[in-house]
């Protein structure tokens, strides 16, 4: 699947940070127009330093919570500090003689939330006689290396990297195999979605002696440097809306200038604030930029969670939510006020489907169980995913990818400079054919499909494309309204896992 928000520069709430708009005069006004969602796999945008309260175990999910003391720095010897990493275990279906361990590589948020939203693992546990382990990523949830000081400055954040997180996972698995009777010879399969899917793939690449295979769902491991076109992400978002309703994407495309015209006066700012039922009225052009970012991020999030049944992954939503939204977006030639009122009706489905919201908050786009600060820092160091728009092949305002501006904004916020090519250097970019036993699953409706592996690389580096799938639909629990394509994908995934387990047991 962070803060620097707006909708005309680089992008991202499903991942986060934006490049500085070149004409914006001050840091406060520097939020570019593209949504956070395109620049980070971050799936949320509630800026809060305190971790969200851990949700209670969902009905039917039974697990135990544990903590393991981990090194803050696995790769140096000068800092001998430790922290407690949280992990969850469910072993009711595990057979210690021949059962597997399914290991969820936690991503940017509270691990109990990912546990709740990864129903696939719970659905297949009995069939695979598997123990389920959900490992929390350092600096998220309760796994804070420096407690309340973890996000205080770049010195304390220096150990927030994918490499350190993977090392945590490897140490945890070795600990479990040593301490759980019967687990020593259990094959381990890494599973993750979004950033967690990237970690699952990278885990298999870097620690093939620890995990026998990986399922990397909606994992855009190629959304780095120049490995893929920076414009493809928003083209997919646009096509989702184009396919879901006549004139839908055209109406959204026309809304940007309508908003500009209406907000050119103080009276217009007040009118739009009332039309959108905003909790905080617009008072400046900076606020207008933030409004557009919020809208753009909303369209991105809808594309990511365009599931065939009602869900509450990011927000409570109806089945096929884009189709519901597009019912209000049918007339791009309407007057500015009517067009904006229709845009409000559309976004109100996303933010107020329950009907309980008295006003709409432009600083909120998704669940608070995801860690916006941690991802903001990661996007400013190694998770640099170029995103751009043209305004021609997509429904958004045009914005080129500007790494220099992006870097300056990162330095301003965190005192660090991003390394554009580090991830391809570290994990191989597109030169990964020497690895094995990784399934890359991607939904064709998901914007992150753009940076995913969508063709088989070898007979053991497998791509599964789900035509009717949004963001890691295959990792969600079984549902009566699942399309045939995701049912087939899950069957294939389990078949590959069984093959890996059999091969492992045959070589013991």
Q: In the sheet that 461-466 helps form, which strands lie side by side, from edge to edge?
A: 64-71, 82-90, 131-135, 101-105, 188-193, 213-217, 438-443, 461-466
The catalytically annotated residue of 91, 446, 474, 482 is 446
CA geometry: angle 456, 204, 386, nearest 5 deg: 65
**Annotated catalytic residue 110:** no
| Sign of the dihedral defined by the CA atoms of residues 56, 58, 59, 65, in that order | negative
Map residue 461 onto helix, strand or coil: strand
DSSP structure string for 334-397: S-HHHHHHHHHHHHHHHHHTTS--SSB-TT--S-TTB-HHHHHHHHTTT------B-SSSSSS-
Alpha-carbon Rg of the chain, whole angstroms?
22
DSSP symbol at 303: H
67 in Cβ contact with 84 (< 8 Å): yes
Q: Which two tokens stand for residue 449?
A: 């499909």
Burial 171-199 (b: 16+ CB within 10 A, else e): bbbeebbeebeebeebbbbbbbbbbbbbb
Map residue 467 onto helix, strand or coil: coil
498 CA to centre of own chain: 28
The catalytically annotated residue of 194, 255, 368, 376 is 194
**Annotated catalytic residue 333:** no
Map residue 221 onto helix, strand or coil: coil
Q: Which two tokens stand for residue 322?
A: 């884009």
**Annotated catalytic residue 446:** yes
397 in Cβ contact with 7 (< 8 Å): yes
**List of residues 6+ apart from 423 with CB closer than 8 A:** 162, 224, 225, 382, 383, 384
The catalytically annotated residue of 33, 156, 435, 471 is 471
Residues with catalytic annotation?
194, 446, 471
């Amino acid at each position: 699947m962070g803060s620097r928000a707006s909708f005309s520069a680089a992008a991202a709430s499903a991942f986060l940070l934006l490049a500085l708009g070149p004409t914006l005069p001050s840091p406060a006004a520097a939020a570019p127009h593209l949504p956070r969602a395109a620049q980070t796999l971050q799936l949320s945008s509630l800026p809060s330093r305190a971790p969200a309260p851990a949700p209670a175990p969902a009905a039917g999910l039974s697990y135990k919570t544990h903590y393991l003391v981990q090194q803050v720095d696995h790769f140096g010897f000068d800092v001998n500090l430790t922290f407690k990493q949280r992990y969850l275990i469910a072993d009711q279906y595990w057979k210690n003689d021949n059962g597997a361990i399914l290991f969820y590589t936690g991503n940017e948020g509270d691990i109990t939330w990912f546990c709740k939203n990864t129903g696939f693992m719970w659905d297949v546990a009995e069939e695979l006689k598997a123990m389920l382990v959900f490992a929390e990523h350092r600096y998220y949830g309760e796994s804070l290396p420096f407690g309340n000081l973890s996000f205080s400055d770049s010195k304390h954040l220096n150990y927030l990297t994918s490499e350190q997180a993977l090392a945590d996972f490897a140490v945890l698995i070795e600990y479990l195999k040593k301490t759980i009777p019967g687990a020593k010879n259990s094959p381990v399969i890494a599973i993750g979605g979004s950033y967690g899917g990237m970690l699952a793939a990278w885990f298999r690449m870097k620690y093939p002696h620890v995990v026998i295979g990986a399922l990397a769902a909606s994992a855009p491991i190629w959304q780095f440097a120049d490995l893929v076109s920076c414009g493809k992400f928003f083209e997919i978002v646009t096509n989702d809306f184009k396919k879901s309703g006549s004139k839908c994407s055209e109406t959204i495309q026309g809304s940007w200038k309508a908003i500009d015209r209406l907000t050119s006066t103080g009276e217009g700012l007040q009118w739009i604030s009332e039309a959108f039922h905003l909790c905080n009225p617009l008072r400046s052009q900076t606020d207008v930029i933030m409004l557009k970012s919020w809208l753009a991020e909303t369209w991105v999030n809808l594309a990511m969670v365009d599931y065939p049944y009602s869900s509450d992954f990011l927000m409570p939503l109806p089945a096929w939510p884009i189709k519901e939204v597009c019912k209000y977006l049918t007339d791009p030639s309407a007057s500015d006020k009517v067009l904006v009122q229709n845009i409000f009706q559309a976004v109100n489905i996303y933010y107020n489907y329950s009907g309980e919201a008295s006003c709409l908050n432009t600083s909120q786009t998704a669940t608070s169980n995801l860690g916006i600060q941690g991802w903001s820092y990661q996007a400013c160091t190694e998770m640099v995913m170029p995103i751009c728009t043209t305004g021609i092949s997509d429904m958004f305002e045009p914005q080129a990818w500007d790494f220099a501006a992006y870097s300056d904004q990162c330095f301003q916020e965190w005192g660090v400079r991003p390394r554009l090519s580090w991830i391809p250097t570290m994990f191989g970019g597109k030169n990964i054919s020497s690895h094995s036993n990784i399934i890359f699953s991607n939904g064709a409706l998901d914007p992150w499909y753009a940076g995913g592996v969508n063709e088989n690389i070898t007979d053991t580096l497998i791509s599964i494309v789900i035509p009717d799938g949004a963001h890691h639909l295959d990792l969600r629990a079984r549902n009566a309204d699942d399309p045939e394509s995701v049912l087939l994908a899950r069957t294939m995934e389990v078949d590959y896992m069984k093959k890996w387990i059999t091969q492992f047991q045959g070589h013991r």
